[in-house]
Amino acid sequence: MGKFKFVIKRSGAVVPFNPDRIANVIYRAAVSVGGRDKEKSFELAKKVVALLEETFEEGYKPHVEEIQDIIEKVLIENGHAKVAKEFILYREEAAQRRRDDSRHFSKPNELIPWRKVWRSLDWAVTHNLNTVEAANIRIRNGEFPHIVHEAESFYETQLDTAAELIKERSSELKMVMVSGPSSSGKTTTTMKLEQRLKKSGMSFVPLVVDNYFFDLEMHPKDEFGDYDFETPQALDLDLINEHLKRLAAGEEVRIPYYDFKSGKRSADSTPLQIHDHEVLLIDSLHGLFPEFSKEIPASQKFKLYLEPLLQMKMPNGEYIRWTDLRLIRRMLRDSVHRAYNTEQTLLHWHYVRASEKRNILPYSNTADYIVNTSMPYEVSLYRPKLLTHFAEWEKKYENDPLREDAYTRAARVRKMLEAIDPVEDDTPVPGDSVLREFIGGSTMEYH
C-alpha cells in the first residue's frame, strides 16, 4: 500500500486514490499529440506517485490540483515537453470552462451557433412551443399530432435548404461531411439528404469512418477504465487524410475494416473510388475537426452540422439542455442496438460530454449549414419511458462522490421529465422521422 488512500476533488469531495487514473490522464495527453505508448504512461505515473510520496506525509489527502502540478513537473523533467504542453493546455481549457459556467457572461459562448438558435427560438414562439407550459396546453387540447406535423415540417424544410446549397456547389464538391455530437441524428439525416440529392442526379459513395479506429488496446481510457471512442484521436487521422486526398484525386484506396467484437483493425480490406459525378458521403462525429480533413481544400467539401437545438423553457425559467436530449436519445438507442443498459449510458456520458466540448462543439460555426434536429414533442414521449429510471438514479448517486456527474444529470433530467405532460402513443410520429432512430419503429433501413 502507498502513502495515500484518498484524494480531494475540486468540489471538496474525498474519493479513493487510484494511481491508474494518473497513467490514464498521461496517456490521454500523449494520444492527443500522436503518442501510443501505454507502458511509458504507466512508467511516468509511477514517477508521479513517487514524487507525491516524497512531497507529502503519510495520510495526507492530496488535492487533484496538487497531483496535476506534479504530473506537469514529471512530464517536463522526463523530456515529454509536447505531452506536458497538451496536458497544461487541457487543464487551462477545463479551468476556463469552470469559470464560464460559474458566471453570467455578456459575450457569446463559442460553443453555441447563435444565429441558428435565434431562428429556432423564433419558430418555437410562433408555434407556441417555446415553454413547457405552452406545450402541455397544446398536448391537453389533443394537438399532439399537429405538434408532430409542425416539427417534422420544420426539420424537412431545413434538409431541403441543405440539399439546395450542396447542389449549387456540385461541380466542385468531392465530399459532403455530416457532423455533430452524439445522438444528434446524423444517420437518419444523412440518409434523407442522400435521397434528396439522388433525385437531382448526384451519386454518393459512403465512407464508414468507424473502420479507421485504432485497435482497442491503443485507445485512451477515462477515469473509470472505460475505453474512450469519443475523442478524435481514437481515429487514425493520418490515414483518413491520406485516403481522403487520394479519393479526391480520383485514385482507388483500400479501406480498412474495424471489428468491434475483437477490437482489431485489419488493413486494406475494401476497395473504394469516387468517379465523375460522384461525391464521398461521410457521417462522423468529427467531420468538422480541423485535423480530420486538413489535406482537402474548403472548396471541395461541404460541411453540415447537426444538433438538437430545442428552444423550450421549463417552469423554473431554465431552458431544456440539448445535451440532456441527446443523453436520452443515446440511452434509448444503445439499449436497443448496442446491448448497453440505460444506466451505463448515464455513467459514460461524462467523457462523451468532455470530448464534445473540446473537439466538436467549438467547430459548429465553421459549418456550411446547420440543421436543428430537435423535435418539440420528443420530451413528452420520453417521460413514460425513462422518468422512473432517472428518479432512481438520482437517489442512488446522491451521496456518491465518484458519481457527482451522474447525480447532477439524473436530478436535472428528472425535473425536466416531470414538468412535461406524458404521451404514450407515438403513432403520429412518421416512420422516417429522425426520432425513430432512437425510439424505434423506423421504416428506414440503417446499416
Taken in order of first residue, the domains within the chain and their CATH numbers are 6-101 (no CATH), 114-439 (3.40.50.300)
Q: What is the mean pLDDT of residues 364-385?
A: 96
The answer to whether 42 and 96 have CB atoms below 8 angstroms apart is: no
Q: What is the mean pLDDT of residues 387-394?
A: 98
The answer to whether 390 and 410 have CB atoms below 8 angstroms apart is: yes
Q: In this predicted model, what pLDDT tens digit does every residue of 13-33 receive, in sequence order? A: 888 888 888 888 888 788 777
- Separation CA 246–CA 296 (nearest Å): 10
Q: What is the mean pLDDT of residues 400-428?
A: 96
Confidence of residue 272 (pLDDT cuts 50, 70, 90): very high
Q: Which residues lie closer than 8 Å to 285 by C-beta, 6 or more apart?
A: 179, 180, 181, 182, 186, 230, 232, 360
- Separation CA 115–CA 112 (nearest Å): 9
pLDDT higher than threshold 90 for residue 209: yes
- Separation CA 127–CA 376 (nearest Å): 10
The whole-number pLDDT of residue 36 equals 77
Type of residue found at 285: L
The answer to whether 257 and 269 have CB atoms below 8 angstroms apart is: yes
Q: Which residues lie closer than 8 Å to 338 by C-beta, 6 or more apart?
A: none
Helix (H), strand (E) counts: the chain: 14, 9
Q: What is the mean pLDDT of residues 229-239?
A: 88
- Separation CA 2–CA 12 (nearest Å): 22
The whole-number pLDDT of residue 354 equals 84
Question: Which SS3 state, helix, strand or coil, does residue 361 take?
Answer: helix
Lowest mean pLDDT among 107-116, 150-159, 434-443: 107-116
Count of CB atoms situated within 10 Å of the CB of 172: 10
Long-range pairs for 220-225: beta carbons < 8 A, 24 or more residues apart: 220/24, 220/27, 220/28, 220/31, 221/24, 221/27, 221/28, 222/24, 222/348, 222/350, 222/351, 223/18, 223/21, 223/24, 223/25, 224/347, 225/20, 225/24
Confidence of residue 100 (pLDDT cuts 50, 70, 90): low
Q: Kindly tell me the burial class for residue 80, based on how many C-beta atoms sit within 10 Å of its own C-beta (0-12, 13-18, 19 or more).
A: buried
Lowest mean pLDDT among 60-74, 120-134, 168-182: 60-74
Q: Which residues lie closer than 8 Å to 187 by C-beta, 6 or more apart?
A: 283, 437, 446
The whole-number pLDDT of residue 108 equals 57
Question: C-alpha 278: how far from its chain's center?
Answer: 29
The answer to whether 330 and 345 have CB atoms below 8 angstroms apart is: yes
The residue that leads in pLDDT, 141 or 340, is 141
How far from each other are the two terminal CA atoms of the chain, in whole angstroms? Answer: 50
Q: How, if at all, do strands 6-8 and 14-16 pair?
A: antiparallel
Question: Which SS3 state, helix, strand or coil, does residue 210 take?
Answer: helix
Q: What is the mean pLDDT of residues 63-92?
A: 86
pLDDT higher than threshold 90 for residue 225: no
Confidence of residue 258 (pLDDT cuts 50, 70, 90): very high
Closest to 410 measured CA to CA, from 400, 421, 425 = 400
The answer to whether 323 and 212 have CB atoms below 8 angstroms apart is: no
Three cell numbers written together for 321: 439542455
For the CA atoms of 185, 191, 194, 196, the dihedral, rounded to the nearest 10 degrees, stands at -90
Q: What is the DSSP letter of 437?
A: H
Q: What is the mean pLDDT of residues 61-68?
A: 88
Confidence of residue 338 (pLDDT cuts 50, 70, 90): low
pLDDT higher than threshold 70 for residue 105: no
Confidence of residue 122 (pLDDT cuts 50, 70, 90): very high
Q: Which residues lie closer than 8 Å to 43 by C-beta, 6 or more apart?
A: none
The residue that leads in pLDDT, 220 or 280, is 280
Q: Kindly tell me the burial class for residue 224, based on how many C-beta atoms sit within 10 Å of its own C-beta (0-12, 13-18, 19 or more).
A: middle
Three cell numbers written together for 182: 452524439
Across 120-260, the runs of DSSP E, i.e. the strands, are 175-179, 203-207, 253-259
Distances in Å between the alpha carbon of 140 and those of 144, 386, 420?
8, 21, 11
- Separation CA 310–CA 307 (nearest Å): 9
The whole-number pLDDT of residue 386 equals 96
pLDDT higher than threshold 90 for residue 57: no
The residue that leads in pLDDT, 350 or 378, is 378
Distances in Å between the alpha carbon of 90 and those of 79, 86, 327, 392?
19, 6, 24, 34
The reply to whether the predicted model has a pTM over 0.95 is: no
